[in-house]
Structure 1
Amino acid sequence: MTATTATSMQAFQTHSGMPAADTEAALAERYRQVRARSTALATPLSAEDAMVQSMADASPAKWHLAHTTWFFEQFVLGARAGYRPVNADWHYLFNSYYQSVGPMHARPQRGLLTRPSLAEVLAYREEVDSRMARAFEAGDFDGPLQQAILLGTHHEQQHQELLLTDIKHALWCNPLRPAYRDDLAGTTGEATPQRWIEFDEAIHVLGAEPWPAHETFAYDNESPRHRALVPAHALASRPVSNGEYRAFIDDGGYRNPALWMSEGWARVQTEGWCAPLYWEDDLERHFTLAGMGAIDPHAPVCHLSYYEADAYARWVGARLPTEAEWESAAAALLVEGGLADDAVLQPRAASDGPGLRQMFGDVWEWTSTAYGPYPGFRPLPGSLGEYNGKFMCGQWVLRGGSCVTPRDHIRASYRNFFYPPDRWQFSGLRLARDM
C-alpha cells in the first residue's frame, strides 16, 4: 500500500466514527451475494466475448470483473499494514480513474489486455474473495473498513449493469448478432393509456443524508438534503413507448432540425441517426440481450440519447422533467418495476393502475437537469472522493434505474449521469409539462 493510499483511507475512516449500518455478518453475506452475481453474469460469455471492447466508452467484461476485485484489494485489504497484493503489476491495469492512488492503463485500450486471461481474472476474484472471507471470519474489519466494503458492493453493482450494457453493444457489433443468453423471457403486454399526473407548486426536501455520517447508504452526490421550490407541473404516468416513438420517426422527427438541440442535430447528421440504437432499418426488429427480436410497441423505448429524448418531447409539445420534479414524485413510491432481479433484461410494458407507473426499473429516464453538486455538497475525503464529484461537468442526470439495475441498488435519490450523446445505456424518457 502506498503512502498516498494510506492517507486516503485514513481520511475516509475518520470521516465518521459511526459503525456501518449492516452488521458484519449481514455485510459479509451481502459481499458474497454481490460477488457471486458478477461471476454469474459473466458465465454465458466465452473468453473471446469477455475481452472485447466495442468502443472507447465501454469496457471488456473481463476488465469489469478484475476492476471490481481490485477495488476491494486496494481500498479494503490494502488498507491494512503489511498487505501483499495478489499481483502488484495488475494495479496499473485495473485502476479506473483514481489518480490519487497511481497511474492507470488508458481506458480506450482495455480491449488490448489479452493478458491476464479470463481464467486468471476469475482466479484473482477467488483469491481476493478468500482473503476477504478469512478477514470477515477473524473480525478484522472495523467500522470504517465495513463502510468501505459496503461502498464497494454498491460500486460492483454499478459495474454489473455496465457489464450487461457493454456486452450488449459488443455482441450487436458482431454481424451474426449473437445473443448474450438465449433463455431470456420475451416481453409481452399492452401499454396502459398515458395520463397526466398533476402536482401543485411546493417546497420539497430532496437528496439523501450524507453517508456514512448517516447510517443509510447513499453516494456522496446524492447529498446533502436540501430544500427546493418545485413549480406546478405534470408528469406522464409512464415512460414513452416504442410505438409512440415510432410515430415520431414516421413523422420525420430525425429529419426536422427545428426539434433538435444544435449539438444533437450535428450528431444526427454526422452519425446518421434515424432510430434508437439497436433498431433495424425496417423499424420492426431490434437487438436485445436475447438476440434479434420484434420490437414490442407497448414496451418503453430505450437506448436514446439525451438529444433524442429532448427532440421527442418537443415534437409532442412537452418537455423532459427536471430531476427535482422526478424525485419529489418518486420519493413516496416503493421501488418496484422491471429490474435486473427479474432476469428479463429488457424493458416491459407498464402494468395498469392509478398514479405514476414504472418510476423505477425498465429504463433510465433522462431529465433536463445538468449533473452538478447540490448546495453544500462535500465529496468523500481522500481517493474515494474521486468517485462522483470530479465528473460534475457536461453530463446530464438520469433517474429511476433500468431492467439491468439490481433492485437493492436503486432509490429515489439515486443520481445517474451520462453525456448527452450516450445511447448504449438502457435510457428512455418520461414526459413533463408546465401547469
Structure 2
Amino acid sequence: MKDTVSFSELTAHQRLQRRYQRVRQMSLWLCKPLLIEDYGLQAAAEVSPPKWHLAHTTWFFETFLLKPHSPGYQAYHPEFERLFNSYYQGVGPQFQRPHRGLLSRPTLEQVESYRKRVDDAMMRLIETLHQPDILALIELGLHHEQQHQELMLTDIKFSFSANPLLPVYCDIPLTNAENANSALNWTAFKHATIRQGFSDDGFHFDNETPVHEVIVPPFKMANRLITNEEFLQFIDDGGYHDPLLWLSDGWQMKQQLDWSAPLYWQKHDEQWHEYTLHGLAPLLPASPVTHVSYYEAEAFARWAGKKLPTESQWEYAKTTTETEGDEQLLIEGEQPIFHPASAGSLTQLSQLFGSCWEWTQSAYLPYPGYQPMAGAVGEYNGKFMCNQMVLKGGSCATPADHIRSSYRNFFYPKDRWQFSGIRLVE
C-alpha cells in the first residue's frame, strides 16, 4: 500500500487545502530570521510591521470567508476587525496606518494563535465548499497573502535600514559571481494591434480585465535592465542636479527628500555600497539598479535619450518573444537570494520576471469596460486607480506562482522601497 498520495490523485478540495497550507506556511517561514523585537518595526508610514502582516492576512480570511460562509464561526477577537483592517471602508473603521508599529498588543503569540484558529476553520470550510464564487474568493485571499509576503520582505528591509547596525536578514552573502553583462542591445517590434489583459485560465485580479485591443506603434526594447554601473554614469554626469531631466513633481520631490542616489546606496571610504537583505555589500556594477522611484527612472531615461516602456509595449514584448533567463528567484528555495542578479551573457530579452518590478510610463487606470468585484472586496484594486503608475514583471521577492504577464502592480511615483528597476525603449 502506498504511504503517500500524489498531487494529481488529490481531490479538488484537497488540492486547495494543500495550496492554502503552503501559502500560509510561507508567511511564517519568511519570519524565521526575525527576533521577537523585529516583529513590531515600522520605520515609515508606508511600511507595516511583520506582526501586522501576519494578522492582516488572517483577518482577510476571517472577514470575507469565515464570518459570512462558516455557520457558527465566532470571531477570534472583536477588536481585530478594526486593528487589522487595512483600507476596506465597506467593512468598517481602521486603526491608523502610520501607528501600526504602536500595537505591542496583541502579542506575537496571540497573533500566531489567531492564525491557527483561522487556518483550522478554513480547512473545515474548504471541505464543504462547492460554490465557484467562494472558491475564487479563497484564491484571492491566497494571492493577497502572497502580495503581503513580498511586502514583508521590502518592509523589513526598509525598517532594518533605519538601524545604524544595519541588521542582516539573510546570512547568505552576496558575491560578484556572474556579475558581468552583455552590452545593451535592442529588440525591434513591428506595429501591431494586440489583445491586452488576462485571457488564460487560472487566477487573475480584476484590474487585469477585460481583454481589449490596443494599437502599439513600432518600438525597440532593451534586452535587459539598467545596471548599477550605468546608473552611476547618470549620477556622475550630474543627473540628480539637472532640473531639465526631471518632471516638475519629481524635481520637487528630489529636492524635498534630498535624493542623490537610489535608496540604500551609501558611500564608505569613497566607494559605493548598497544595503541589502543580506547586509551591507559593495555595489555590484552589473546588477540591476533597484529601489528607484518612477521620477528617477524617468529622469534616467530622458538622460539616456530613451523612454520607459508603456504597459502595452511591455506586454507585447513579453507575449510575442522567446525570452531568456526568466526563471524566477524562488523565495522557497533552500538558499534564497533576496536581491536582483545580473543578466550575465544573455543577449535576448531577459530579466522580465524575478529580478525587479519595471516602471512603465503608463498611469494606473481602468481598462475599457472594467468592473470591480462586488461588495467590499471590490475595494481591492479599483479605488486606487488615480495618481499611481503601473509596474510590470516581478521582483526577486515575488513568489514565482504569483507572477504573470498581465499582472498590474502599481505604486505612487515617489515610492522607492519596492524592488523597482528600469528598462528602456526607443
Amino acid at match of 2:19: R
The match for 2:352 is 359
Match of 2:252 among 266, 272, 296: 266
Structure 1 CA distance for aligned equivalents of residues 364 and 231 of structure 2: 26
The match for 2:366 is 373
The match for 2:266 is 280
The match for 2:90 is 100
* 1:188 and 1:348 in contact (8 A); partners too: no
* 1:220 and 1:388 in contact (8 A); partners too: yes
The match for 1:425 is 418
* 1:188 and 1:296 in contact (8 A); partners too: no
* 2:172 and 2:337 in contact (8 A); partners too: no
Give the 3-state SS of the residue equivalent to 1:158 in structure 2: helix
2:171 is the counterpart of 1:182: yes
2:384 is the counterpart of 1:396: no
2:113 is the counterpart of 1:127: no
Amino acid at match of 1:311: A
The match for 1:298 is 286
Over residues 160-219 of structure 1, what are the superposed CA-to-partner deviations in whole Å (9 max), with x where a residue is unaligned? 00000000000000011011121355463211221111111100001014xxxx852110
Moved more, 342-351 or 404-413: 342-351
Give the 3-state SS of the residue equivalent to 1:44 in structure 2: coil
The match for 1:66 is 55
The match for 1:157 is 146
The match for 2:329 is 338
Return 5+ residue gaps in structure 2 as ranges: 1-10
* 2:356 and 2:396 in contact (8 A); partners too: yes
Structure 1 position 129, deviation (Å): 1.1
Give the 3-state SS of the residue equivalent to 1:331 in structure 2: helix
Structure 1 CA distance for aligned equivalents of residues 18 and 182 of structure 2: 39
The match for 1:387 is 380
Match of 2:205 among 219, 240, 257: 219
* 1:67 and 1:96 in contact (8 A); partners too: yes
Structure 1 CA distance for aligned equivalents of residues 239 and 397 of structure 2: 29
Structure 2 CA distance for aligned equivalents of residues 187 and 206 of structure 1: 38
Match of 2:313 among 321, 325, 330: 325
Q: List aligned pairs for 1:176-215, cutoff 5 A.
A: 176-183=165-172, 186=175, 188-189=177-178, 190-209=180-199, 215=201
Structure 1 position 61, deviation (Å): 0.6
* 2:54 and 2:111 in contact (8 A); partners too: yes
Aligned residues, how many? 407
Give the 3-state SS of the residue equivalent to 1:365 in structure 2: strand
Kindly report the root-mean-square deviation, in angstroms, between the aligned alpha carbons of the 2 structures.
Answer: 1.6
Structure 2 CA distance for aligned equivalents of residues 123 and 426 of structure 1: 32
Amino acid at match of 2:122: M
Moved more, 283-292 or 194-203: 283-292
Give the 3-state SS of the residue equivalent to 2:233 in structure 1: helix
* 1:238 and 1:357 in contact (8 A); partners too: yes
Match of 1:57 among 43, 46, 54: 46
Question: CA separation of 1:246/1:431 partners in 2, compared to 1, >3 Å: closer, same or farther?
Answer: same
* 1:371 and 1:396 in contact (8 A); partners too: yes
* 1:187 and 1:346 in contact (8 A); partners too: no
Structure 1 position 23, deviation (Å): 2.2
The match for 1:8 is none
Structure 1 CA distance for aligned equivalents of residues 263 and 217 of structure 2: 34
Structure 1 CA distance for aligned equivalents of residues 175 and 85 of structure 2: 37
2:72 is the counterpart of 1:86: no
2:237 is the counterpart of 1:251: yes
Question: CA separation of 1:390/1:347 partners in 2, compared to 1, >3 Å: closer, same or farther?
Answer: same
Structure 1 position 132, deviation (Å): 1.6
Structure 1 position 108, deviation (Å): 0.9
Amino acid at match of 1:401: G
The match for 1:311 is 299
Structure 1 position 89, deviation (Å): 1.4
Over residues 71-91 of structure 1, what are the superposed CA-to-partner deviations in whole Å (9 max), with x where a residue is unaligned? 011111112233211112111
Give the 3-state SS of the residue equivalent to 1:91 in structure 2: helix
The match for 1:236 is 222
* 1:264 and 1:421 in contact (8 A); partners too: yes
* 2:129 and 2:135 in contact (8 A); partners too: no
Amino acid at match of 2:110: E
Structure 1 position 115, deviation (Å): 0.3
Return 5+ residue gaps in structure 1 as ranges: 1-21
The match for 2:108 is 118
Give the 3-state SS of the residue equivalent to 2:235 in structure 1: helix
Structure 1 position 120, deviation (Å): 1.1
Structure 1 position 427, deviation (Å): 0.3
Structure 1 position 125, deviation (Å): 0.9
Structure 2 CA distance for aligned equivalents of residues 188 and 371 of structure 1: 37
Give the 3-state SS of the residue equivalent to 2:90 in structure 1: helix
Structure 1 CA distance for aligned equivalents of residues 415 and 383 of structure 2: 19
Give the 3-state SS of the residue equivalent to 1:432 in structure 2: coil
Give the 3-state SS of the residue equivalent to 1:234 in structure 2: strand
* 1:304 and 1:423 in contact (8 A); partners too: yes
Structure 1 position 341, deviation (Å): 4.2
Structure 1 CA distance for aligned equivalents of residues 122 and 294 of structure 2: 41
* 2:190 and 2:217 in contact (8 A); partners too: yes
In the superposition, the TM-score normalised over structure 2's length comes to: 0.92
Structure 1 position 265, deviation (Å): 0.9
Structure 1 position 339, deviation (Å): 4.7
Structure 2 CA distance for aligned equivalents of residues 187 and 85 of structure 1: 51
The match for 2:3 is none
Moved more, 153-162 or 46-55: 46-55
Structure 1 position 252, deviation (Å): 0.8
* 1:186 and 1:344 in contact (8 A); partners too: no
